[in-house]
Structure 1
Amino acid sequence: MDAVATVATALWAMLPAYVPNNAAVLFGGGPPIDGGRTMGGRRLLGDGKTWRGTAAGWLAGVGVGLLLRELRDPVSDALGVALPTLPLAAALALPLGAMLGDIGASFLKRRTGRERGAPFPGVDQLDFVVGALLLGAVAAPSWFFETFTLPVLAVVLVITPVLHVITNAIAYVLGLKSEPW
């Protein structure tokens, strides 16, 4: 697989996982998942993790995954790259894993004394990737291991933090986030 195909595969396969957190910011709000509960005097997750945001993020990611299933052939032809076919299990699992990874990172942030919105370098950029990849591997193992070769995983791990910083900066400038990270 050449460099262009590797990058295209990485972005294509991860797109259902890239969308959910942005959708959660746009459509979130409402009751927090933790219901205000605490552990050791600190919130379990905080007000930023809501049922509505989690559901909206997951649904947006699933919608993208279903769209990718339909667009694969024409986009592959246009790019001259054989993009992976996204199985339904992966279209459902990748965005759910992304949301669960983000929730897990929020739990870790609270346990380490970080407040909502405080930076947690590395974790902030890759939490959702770890969740998406783990759940994707469980839900669609043959597709996962065929698609996420070591070069593709390397691209995901390098490009995701860059995309994360760019999208967060845009959301901050647009007033959708109160901090640029």
Structure 2
Amino acid sequence: MVVSLVAGALWAMLPAYVPNNAAVLAGGGHPIDGGRTVDGRRLLGDGKTWRGTAVGTVAGVALAMALNAVRTGAAGALGADLPVFSLRAALGLALGAMLGDIGASFLKRRLGRERGAAVPGLDQLDFVVGALLLAAVLAPTWTLATFSPARLAVIALATPLLHVTTNAGAYLLGLKSEPW
């Protein structure tokens, strides 16, 4: 039962977990804020680009569709009830993850934090909140049926661990300039 719960929760969030990683790989290009400032501070910073946002969103949606294709076999192998992603749910999770990260960047700039500065909690869960909120707007029935309180608890516990691990790996591979 625990394996089924964890597998279902992580499966449901995979389209939200991937976009920011894809954005790091494809990043660069024109910053979303166009260099604009408020109170002498960048609105978002150079790390939030149109290309990274687009590539991250497309990667998350594509992953959701690929997961749909392998769902039956994976559900049998994992012994878990795995959700099927509607296109609206996939878009909500992927774009919402990107928007959550962009929102956190905006907050960090208002707090006077520079690009790459750590803000524990915000850094690990910003994209989860954005993903769940936009999925709830675009696919409310799917979101309510998919994210039980137990799955949300697993996501809240597992995401910070996954976030720290993947960021440390990206840092070691030279893909990120800081390990958080």
Alignment correspondent of 2:149 = 150
* Alpha-carbon displacement from aligned partner over 1:42-73 (angstroms, at most 9, x marks no partner): 00000000001111111111110110111111
Q: Which residue of 2 aligns with 1:6?
A: 5
Distance in 2, Cα, partners of 1:166 & 1:72: 26
How far did residue 92 of structure 1 move?
1.3
| In structure 2, C-alpha distance between the alignment counterparts of 1:98 and 1:70, rounded to whole Å | 22
- Counterpart of 1:131 in structure 2 is 130
Q: Which residue of 2 aligns with 1:55?
A: 54
* Aligned position for 2:28: 29
1:132-151: CA deviation from partner (whole Å, max 9, x where unpaired):
00011111111111110111
- Whichever residue aligns with residue 125 of structure 1, its letter is Q
Which residue in the other structure is 2:88 paired with? 89
Aligned with 2:168: secondary structure?
helix
What is the aligned partner in structure 2 of residue 68 from structure 1?
67
Is 2:97–2:129's contact at 8 Å kept on the other side of the alignment? Answer: yes
What's the counterpart of residue 176 of structure 1? 175
The C-alpha deviation readout for 1:76-109, integer Å capped at 9, x for no partner, is 1122222111112111110000000000000000
Identity within the alignment, % = 69
Tell me the TM-score normalised to structure 2 length.
0.98
Matched residues in 2 for 1:65 and 1:165: separation?
23
Report how many aligned residue pairs link the two structures. Answer: 180
Structure 1 stretches lacking a partner, 5+ long: none
The one-letter code matched in structure 2 to 1:98 is: A
Counterpart residue identity of residue 128, structure 1: F
State the 1:112 CA deviation. Answer: 0.3
CA distance in structure 2 between the partners assigned to 1:50 and 1:88 by the alignment: 24
TM alignment of 1:40-51, pairs within 5 A = 40-51=39-50
1:59 partner SS = helix
Q: One-letter code of the match for 2:39?
A: G
Q: What is the SS of the residue equivalent to 2:171?
A: helix
Q: Does 1:161 align with 2:153?
A: no
In angstroms, what is the RMSD of aligned CA positions?
0.7
**Which 4+ stretches in 1 moved above 6 angstroms?**
none
Gap regions ≥5 residues in structure 2: none
CA distance in 2, matches of 1:126, 1:82: 24
